[in-house]
Amino acid sequence: MTATMDVDKKLLNTGVLIVATLVVAKLIYAFLIPRSGKRLPPVVKGWPIVGGLVRFLKGPIVMLRQEYPKLGSVFTVKLFNKNITFLIGPEVSAHFFKASESDLSQQEVYQFNVPTFGPGVVFDVDYSVRQEQFRFFTESLRVNKLKGYVDQMVAEAEDYFSKWGDSGEVDLKYELEHLIILTASRCLLGREVRDKLFDDVSALFHDLDNGMLPISVLFPYLPIPAHRRRDRARKKLSEIFARIISSRKSTGKPENDMLQCFIDSKYKDGRPTTESEVTGLLIAALFAGQHTSSITSTWTGAYLLCHKEYLSSVLEEQKNLMAKHGNKVDHDILAEMDVLYRSIKEALRLHPPLIMLLRSSHSDFNVKTREGKEFDIPKGHIVATSPAFANRLPHIFKDPDAYDPDRFAVGREEDKAAGAFSYISFGGGRHGCLGEPFAYLQIKAIWSHLLRNFELELVSPFPEIDWNAMVVGVKGKVMVRYKRRELTAN
């Protein structure tokens, strides 16, 4: 009997001890280490399920403007069953730009490009192959190649503007779009397209472009007429390039253009590119570089024509360069156009055509804000950053909405105010734009020609932003009155 009571007592004591231990452990957990769990970013409030979508459709930048002051630089938007976490500003976006593909990948979020670029290239292939294809881009855009492209850019600009009268009125946006398609055709797609097939190929690119709708981002294969036209155009472009490539291969005469570089490119295992890959890479180059550059040329013009002080600075620079080099313009002379460079860069800060960059996260990571708050971002989130918003942060850019090219001049250098990711119109880090030097050369070639040969005046109101376009650009026409004049050297 007593033996049984002893056992019962022991059991009771053990039970009490276990419960007490659990309670104490819980208390310690609750009070002493309350922050050891995940510190998830705050979530944008909206109506359940559709709320996020409604907010998003009003425009991501409108949403960012409303939420950033309330929630800070890191927050999550729920869209359907997806969590999109925004990292705004250089203090929290470094991981976005620097992470390896296995941690933050582009493939899933940029899948919608696959039917446009075609099979076997860029986002349709594994990262190891994509990396090699980006190497082909890098090689095709090296300085020795760029030097040749510049001569073609200058020739295209001279030819195009020689067709303007002595004076008149034009839609600058239309004119620059057109000139940039011609230049891109020459430098990227090649002489055959530029000289013989320009109208056909432009029409096909137009169909590819029109097949890239906001809805295509979510549903790239919807059976709608725009997608059917896109698919037909992609097929016809393949046929056209297959003919050009085999004719180049048979004549053996090399050309200085991106097409030739892609034809001559080889993977590490020695395999040459296929005709279909060459076509896909050229399409990708045009999609990356054409609208982005023409939009930036138009904004640059609109700002310069409205800011006489900066217009006179760029004119002064041209006069000095003419005194030094005469009328000649080549790669190295364009490289000396520093004031013009800053004027373009500032237009691009205010109006980056790619307003949102995305990645898909495959591992947990954490970020620390400027205020010292830490957040854990779980794997599975889509991670986003926004050049359009981040480029106007007042703690990085003084008076951020003002056009002020001098903010990049020696002594101020606001583009580096908080390190490498302060200015992100071209992205940065691991996936930074490979075409940045090409884009600046092209825009400088156009504007140095216009400044040297025309007096220009903006006659329509300062343009608004067309937020609805996939590549965000200029809304409506940009009417400019021109008068031919010859700038005289200093």
Binding part of the chain for ligand HEM, among 79-87, 192-200, 263-271, 435-443 by CB under 6 A, reads 435-443
Q: Does 293 bind ligand HEM (CB under 6 A)?
A: yes
Q: How far is the CB of 60 from ligand HEM (least distance, A)?
A: 15
Our CB check for ligand HEM shows the closer of 294 and 453 to be 294
Q: Does 280 bind ligand HEM (CB under 6 A)?
A: no
Alpha carbon of 344 to those of 67, 80, 268, 348, 423: distances in Å? Answer: 30, 38, 37, 6, 13
Task: Provide the 8-state DSSP code for 487.
Answer: P
Our CB check for ligand HEM shows the closer of 281 and 322 to be 281
- Convert 135-202 into a string of H (helix), E (strand) and C (coil): HHHHHHCCHHHHHHHHHHHHHHHHHHHHCCCCEEEEEHHHHHHHHHHHHHHHHHHCHHHHHHHHHHHH
> Which residue minimizes CB distance to ligand HEM?
435
If DSSP codes are grouped into helix, strand and coil, which group holds residue 335? Answer: helix
Q: Does 86 bind ligand HEM (CB under 6 A)?
A: no
Q: How far is the CB of 181 from ligand HEM (least distance, A)?
A: 13
Q: How far is the CB of 294 from ligand HEM (least distance, A)?
A: 9
Which residues sit opposite 194 in a β-bridge?
A: none
Q: Does 296 bind ligand HEM (CB under 6 A)?
A: yes
Report the residue from 68, 123, 137, 341 that binds ligand HEM according to the rule CB under 6 A.
137
Residue whose token pair is 């432009």: 202
Q: How far is the CB of 21 from ligand HEM (least distance, A)?
A: 51
Closest CA to 398 of 422, 426, 362: 422
Binding part of the chain for ligand HEM, among 60-68, 242-250, 272-280, 349-357 by CB under 6 A, reads 349-357
Q: What is the DSSP string of 58-113?
A: T-HHHHHHHHHHHH-SEEEEEETTEEEEEE-SHHHHHHHHH--TTTEESTTTTGGG
Q: Does 435 bind ligand HEM (CB under 6 A)?
A: yes
CB 257 within 8 Å of CB 186: yes
- How many residues bind to ligand HEM according to rule CB under 6 A? 21
Our CB check for ligand HEM shows the closer of 98 and 431 to be 431
Write out the two tokens for 168: 């008149």
Report the b/e string of 406-416 with b at 16+ CB within 10 A: bbbeeeeebbe
Q: How far is the CB of 335 from ligand HEM (least distance, A)?
A: 17
If DSSP codes are grouped into helix, strand and coil, which group holds residue 384? Answer: strand
Our CB check for ligand HEM shows the closer of 129 and 224 to be 129
Report the residue from 87, 357, 377, 390 that binds ligand HEM according to the rule CB under 6 A.
357
Report the residue from 83, 360, 425, 448 that binds ligand HEM according to the rule CB under 6 A.
425
Binding part of the chain for ligand HEM, among 31-39, 192-200, 320-328, 352-360 by CB under 6 A, reads 352-360
Q: What type of residue sits at position 453?
A: N
Report the residue from 56, 127, 134, 467 that binds ligand HEM according to the rule CB under 6 A.
134
Q: How far is the CB of 166 from ligand HEM (least distance, A)?
A: 31
Our CB check for ligand HEM shows the closer of 280 and 289 to be 289
Q: What is the DSSP string of 251-291?
A: H----SSHHHHHHH-B-TTSPBPPHHHHHHHHHHHHHHHHH
Alpha carbon of 332 to those of 275, 325, 329: distances in Å? Answer: 34, 11, 8
If DSSP codes are grouped into helix, strand and coil, which group holds residue 117? Answer: helix
Q: How far is the CB of 368 from ligand HEM (least distance, A)?
A: 22
Residue 172's Cβ-side half-sphere holds a number of Cα atoms within 13 Å equal to 29
Binding part of the chain for ligand HEM, among 73-81, 151-159, 367-375, 419-427 by CB under 6 A, reads 419-427
* Strand-pair category, 82-87 with 382-385: parallel
Q: How far is the CB of 450 from ligand HEM (least distance, A)?
A: 17
Q: Does 431 bind ligand HEM (CB under 6 A)?
A: yes
Residue whose token pair is 């310690």: 28
Q: Does 301 bind ligand HEM (CB under 6 A)?
A: no
Q: Does 285 bind ligand HEM (CB under 6 A)?
A: yes
Binding part of the chain for ligand HEM, among 213-221, 405-413, 434-442, 448-456 by CB under 6 A, reads 434-442
Closest CA to 293 of 158, 441, 172: 441
Residue whose token pair is 């969590």: 83
| Sheet containing 382-385: order of strands | 74-79, 82-87, 382-385, 357-361, 104-105
Q: Does 183 bind ligand HEM (CB under 6 A)?
A: no
Q: How far is the CB of 425 from ligand HEM (least distance, A)?
A: 5
Which value, to the nearest 10 degrees, does the dihedral of the CA atoms of residues 258, 150, 473, 97 take? 60
Q: Does 422 bind ligand HEM (CB under 6 A)?
A: no
Pattern 87-126, binding to ligand HEM, x per CB under 6 A?
----------------------------------------
Report the residue from 86, 262, 438, 447 that binds ligand HEM according to the rule CB under 6 A.
438
Q: How far is the CB of 228 from ligand HEM (least distance, A)?
A: 28
Q: Does 354 bind ligand HEM (CB under 6 A)?
A: yes
Annotated binding site for heme: 433
Which positions lie near ligand HEM, rule CB under 6 A? 134, 137, 285, 288-289, 292-293, 296, 352-354, 357, 425-427, 431, 433-435, 438-439
